[in-house]
Amino acid sequence: MTVRIARDVSFPCMLLVAAASSLGCTQGPPPTPPGSPSVALPELLAESLPAPSAHEAPPLPSRAPPPAPTVPPAEASVPSALAQTRDRPAAAGAAFEGRRDALWDAIVNDAPERAMPFFFPLEAYEQVKDVGDPAADWRRRLVAAYKRDIHALHAKLGDDAGDARLVSMTVPDDRATWVDPGEEWNKVGYYRVFGSKLRYSAHGQDAAFDVKSLISWRGQWFVVHLSAIK
């Protein structure tokens, strides 16, 4: 007797499924190829990022701007562009002492530029002087004389320049007077005082330099003539 066995084409597939189940295999995405990131970016974020350029270096991290330089008190306290006031000046305070020390340093070192913080400011002079070109008058006459006087005072110190020490600057504030507009080719008034002295010592001996004329701007004293009115 001939026995016929029916062919079941699903039988090998069932065996394969059973074998896979016994090995703990589950269906899922294919493994990540080598070199790919372990975590994919969200689609929206990935689309918003610009494509890197082969010729463009990555941007450097931003740096904070450097801090602003510190302005010396002698310069920070000079509001020369503002209008004049009738505030009465006094030879005291950090701003005055800073300007005074700048003048002394200029004399000792024969460096007139260092004394400019104590000289009457140009912007203020342009408001005060009733002449055709106040800036030129300020530079060519007043500043030029100021620098010549500083050179001359340094020469007077001579060999004592390295040993001379500033003691004080005396200003006879009680003798200061208000100069009205029109009195000294001026269109703006100011306080003026004569007879100030820059006192110093050298080798135990006291001495002084005359400071011919100070005038005020907004309640502060400035030199306008050092050794003589020129």
In this prediction the pTM is 0.67
Task: Report d(CA 93, CA 98) in Å as an integer.
Answer: 9
Q: How many structural domains are present in the chain?
A: 1
Report yes or no on 29 lying in a domain.
no
Q: Are 102 and 115 a contacting pair, CB within 8 Å? A: yes
Helix axes 94-109, 144-157, angle to 10 degrees: 70
Report yes or no on 13 lying in a domain.
no
Taking only the tens place, the pLDDT of each residue in 13-27 is: 433 334 434 444 444
Boundaries of domain holding 124: 81-225
Report yes or no on 45 lying in a domain.
no
Report yes or no on 58 lying in a domain.
no
Report yes or no on 20 lying in a domain.
no
Report yes or no on 53 lying in a domain.
no
Identity of the residue numbered 142: L
Q: Are 195 and 175 a contacting pair, CB within 8 Å? A: yes
Taking only the tens place, the pLDDT of each residue in 17-63 is: 344 344 444 444 444 444 433 333 333 333 444 444 444 444 444 44
Q: Which two tokens stand for residue 156?
A: 């007077």
Report yes or no on 169 lying in a domain.
yes
What's residue 124's pLDDT?
A: 98
Which one, of 116, 118, 122, 128, lies nearest residue 84 by Cα?
128
How many CB atoms sit inside 10 A of residue 14's CB? 10
Report yes or no on 205 lying in a domain.
yes
